[in-house]
Amino acid sequence: MCDFAADAEAARQLLVGRVLTVERVRQLNAKDYFYQMLKDNPEMLKVYPGIENELLVGAIDCHIHAYPDFVHRSQDMIQIAIDASKAGMRALAFKDHWNISCSAAYLAQRHIDYLVEKGELSHRVEIYGGCGTCHGMNPEAMRIALQYPNFKMIWFPTFTSLGFWRGAGHPERGGVRLVSDSGEVLPEVVEIMKMAVEKKVGIGFGHTDFRELLPLARKAKELGVRATLDHPLLELNKLLLDEMKQLADLGVYVGAYCQPMIPSLYQPVADPMETIRTIQEIGPERCIIGSDFGQVLHMDSIDGMRVFIRALLGFGIKPDAVRMMLKENPAKLMWLD
């Protein structure tokens, strides 16, 4: 005879992704969730449009996607930079998965400086780019790229990394390796990490998995590399809380970005409270917040940051913690401190 109660409980605990359960999805989709959310988070009643204005002054968004890129983006660098300038932000860093973004960043900076000189903008925002490595970890190519102006970030492989495909359940597709089978960081990766320290640029560790991230974090600590985890709460390179804690303890920043806290067509089934728990458990001193926006089905990047800051405040993250994650920590990551 079947134990229906046990079967029902087992069904509720089925995982949707790495940590989200069917029961939690049911709670998030309940008809009274909105009212329960307000009851559990009374600070939300104090949140209003514009509460984020003061926190955006001097802020740094170290992870934005802008056009031109390999896919269409919602805005180009100049449009985003104008929005950031009007908000009084300090700096932006534009990510490209495949190529250098610092050349376009330099030209966008020239245009912003021209608008400031003409008096059409009152605030100069710093605009940076860097280099993606989806084509492979090529030290000579990186050595050349680092000679370009406005270079502040190196992004390790994303959609081409071995760890990405392994996490997606398709290790047979191979991909760009960062770590050997024995757990050693590959020589070409070490060489690029040393360049990052020498040239004072940050590193985003890409979309790889914990098997590669742990050796990378240990090597980063050894070499003095400043690195961050790229959106480890997104399902495409999801990390468990204990994994993030281990990496943070080694000095790596944990990236807590607009996704998945802001509901998204790109990941429609997610728990927004996971971002809050991660910041609380890891501590704001080891977290960085940014938009990771620019996708065509999202709101504009700086608008996304505005909503994200309001959400953090509404769910109990204190303004001083937001300042640390939005100003101090990204400045350290990109050697702007």
Domain parsing of the chain, residue ranges: 56-333
Number of other CB atoms surrounding residue 32 within 10 Å? 9
> Per CATH, the architecture of 56-333 is what?
Alpha-Beta Barrel (3.20)
Res. 184: pLDDT tops 80:
yes
What three-state secondary structure class fits 60? strand
Res. 333: pLDDT tops 70:
yes
Spatial distance between the Cα atoms of 256 and 283, rounded to a whole number of angstroms: 11
pLDDT given for residue 315 in this prediction: 94
Spatial distance between the Cα atoms of 196 and 66, rounded to a whole number of angstroms: 23
pLDDT given for residue 17 in this prediction: 86
Whole-number average pLDDT of the chain: 95
pTM: 0.95
Q: What is the rounded average pLDDT of the residues 225-246?
A: 96
Identity of the residue numbered 282: I
| Digit-coded pLDDT (tens) for 137-163 | 999 999 999 999 999 999 999 999 999
- 273: CB partners within 8 A, 6+ apart: 315
pLDDT given for residue 11 in this prediction: 64
pLDDT given for residue 2 in this prediction: 57
What is the torsion angle, in degrees rounded to the nearest 10, for the CA atoms of residue 164, residue 168, residue 172 and residue 177?
A: 10
pLDDT class of 9 with cuts at 50, 70, 90: confident
| φ, ψ at 104 (rounded to 5°) | -65, -35
Res. 4: pLDDT tops 80:
no
| 20-21 vs 15-16, strand pairing mode | antiparallel
Residue 91: beta bridge partners? 60, 126
Spatial distance between the Cα atoms of 19 and 30, rounded to a whole number of angstroms: 19
Give the percent of the chain with pLDDT over 70. 97
Q: Which two tokens stand for residue 39?
A: 């009851």
pLDDT given for residue 238 in this prediction: 94
Q: Which two tokens stand for residue 279?
A: 């910041």
pLDDT given for residue 3 in this prediction: 74
| Digit-coded pLDDT (tens) for 39-94 | 988 889 999 999 999 999 999 999 999 999 999 999 999 999 999 999 999 999 99
DSSP one-letter code for 53:
H
Q: What is the rounded average pLDDT of the residues 208-224?
A: 98
Q: What is the rounded average pLDDT of the residues 16-39?
A: 92
Res. 5: pLDDT tops 70:
no
DSSP one-letter code for 184:
P
- 255: CB partners within 8 A, 6+ apart: 63, 204, 228, 229, 230, 231, 232, 287, 288, 289, 290, 292
Spatial distance between the Cα atoms of 35 and 31, rounded to a whole number of angstroms: 9
Spatial distance between the Cα atoms of 294 and 329, rounded to a whole number of angstroms: 22
Q: Check if the beta carbon of residue 301 is closer than 8 Å to that of residue 67.
A: no
Q: Check if the beta carbon of residue 112 is closer than 8 Å to that of residue 122.
A: no
Q: What is the rounded average pLDDT of the residues 227-235?
A: 96
Spatial distance between the Cα atoms of 132 and 126, rounded to a whole number of angstroms: 20
| φ, ψ at 82 (rounded to 5°) | -65, -45
| Digit-coded pLDDT (tens) for 300-314 | 999 999 999 999 999
